[in-house]
């Protein structure tokens, strides 16, 4: 057993039940926000709607007030909204979305002590065929993980298949940001990368029933390297300013596969 595995908290059926409730709320907020995915909407409007729905359900938005030692201020919104070349951790604002844009919305909540976390990239009106392929392949990489995860499988096997799915089509897999264990805390052990290389061998782990993981491929049209967009050190953009997409589900490993906790 690796060091990483020993720190992974397996959840009881009762805990997974609570995570299913938190995840169901995340899914329903995503459905509502998707209605705003049209030209002229703003990510600030999406954030406001999400905050209202989360609080109306008696839950807490996970990202609001998160501290990042590198950043100038705590995260100021309920959702992350990352537009076009922004990859993750975008701050919602009043810029109207335009036909052909994409916006990655990441939503996390805590409900009755347990967390749910999911992201999806929304197309604003009709997008170019290349951008549509970006969205499709990112979603497909997450689907590969959902199909391939099962007890006794090592994460590296799943991550290798996700990476292959993306790279064989000429897209890039972001390395600097990865998925994570989830439960009582938004970020628990282990780290869940969307690629595999030799440097990750020591932190590889075996999937076991009761593990709850947020799997979240971040994919780029161009090179996968990222940097902070500006001095606030929150919004992450691609270095080459190519566009990016992000799909995420919170998943529970079952006896023979996975259950999607944030599914529709
Ligand atoms: Mg997330």
Q: Report the pLDDT value the prediction gives residue 6, as an integer from 0 to 100.
A: 63
Expressed in angstroms and rounded, the spacing between residue 215 Cα and the centre of ligand 1 is 9
Q: Report how far residue 146's alpha carbon sits from residue 256's, in angstroms, rounded to the nearest whole number.
A: 12
Q: How many separate domains does the chain show? A: 1
Beta-ladder partners of 102: 123
Which of 100, 205, 223 has the alpha carbon at shortest distance from 153? 205
Going from the Cα of 194 to the center of ligand 1, the distance in angstroms, rounded, reads 14
Interval between CA 89 and ligand 1 midpoint (Å): 9
Q: Which domain holds residue 249?
A: 3-260
Residue 141 has pLDDT above 60, yes or no: yes
Please report, for the domain that includes residue 60, its CATH number: 3.90.230.10
Mean pLDDT, range 202-218, rounded to an integer: 97
The answer on pLDDT for 132 being more than 90 is yes
Name the residues around ion ligand 1, CB cutoff 5 A.
Answer: 106, 117, 119, 248
Gap from CA of 250 to ligand 1 centroid (Å) = 8
How buried is residue 228: exposed, middle or buried, by Cβ count under 10 Å (0-12/13-18/19+)? middle
Centre of ligand 1 to C-alpha 206, Å, is 22
Residue 240 alpha carbon to ligand 1 centre in Å: 23
Model-wide pTM > 0.85: yes
Q: What is the mean pLDDT of residues 90-110?
A: 98
How close is the Cα of 16 to the center of ligand 1, in Å? 18
* pLDDT at residue 39 is higher than 90: yes
Q: What separation in Å is there between the alpha carbon of 190 and the centre of ligand 1?
A: 15
Q: Is the pLDDT of residue 211 over 50?
A: yes
Tokens of 193: 């990368």
Residue 3 — pLDDT band, cuts 50, 70, 90?
very low
């Amino acid at each position: 057993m690796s060091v990483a595995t020993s720190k992974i908290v397996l959840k009881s059926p009762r805990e997974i039940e609570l995570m299913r409730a938190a995840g169901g709320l995340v899914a329903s907020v995503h459905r509502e926000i998707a209605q705003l995915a049209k030209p002229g909407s703003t990510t600030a409007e999406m954030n406001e709607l999400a905050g209202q729905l989360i609080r109306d359900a008696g839950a807490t938005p996970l990202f609001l007030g998160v501290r990042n030692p590198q950043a100038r201020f705590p995260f100021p919104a309920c959702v992350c909204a990352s537009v076009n070349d922004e990859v993750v951790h975008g701050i919602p604002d009043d810029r109207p979305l335009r036909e052909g844009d994409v916006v990655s919305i990441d939503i996390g909540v805590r409900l009755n002590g347990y967390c749910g976390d999911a992201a999806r990239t929304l197309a604003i009106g009709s997008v170019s065929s290349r951008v549509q392929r970006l969205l499709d392949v990112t979603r497909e990489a997450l689907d590969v993980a959902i199909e391939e995860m099962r007890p006794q499988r090592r994460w590296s096997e799943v991550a290798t298949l996700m990476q292959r799915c993306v790279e064989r089509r000429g897209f890039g897999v972001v390395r600097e940001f990865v998925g994570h264990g989830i439960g009582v805390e938004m970020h628990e052990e282990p780290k869940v990368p969307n690629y595999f290389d030799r440097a990750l061998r020591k932190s590889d782990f075996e999937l076991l029933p009761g593990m709850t993981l947020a799997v979240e491929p971040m994919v780029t049209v161009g090179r996968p390297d990222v940097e902070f967009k500006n001095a606030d050190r929150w919004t992450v953009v691609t270095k080459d300013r190519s566009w990016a997409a992000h799909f995420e589900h919170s998943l529970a490993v079952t006896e023979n596969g996975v259950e999607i906790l944030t599914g529709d």
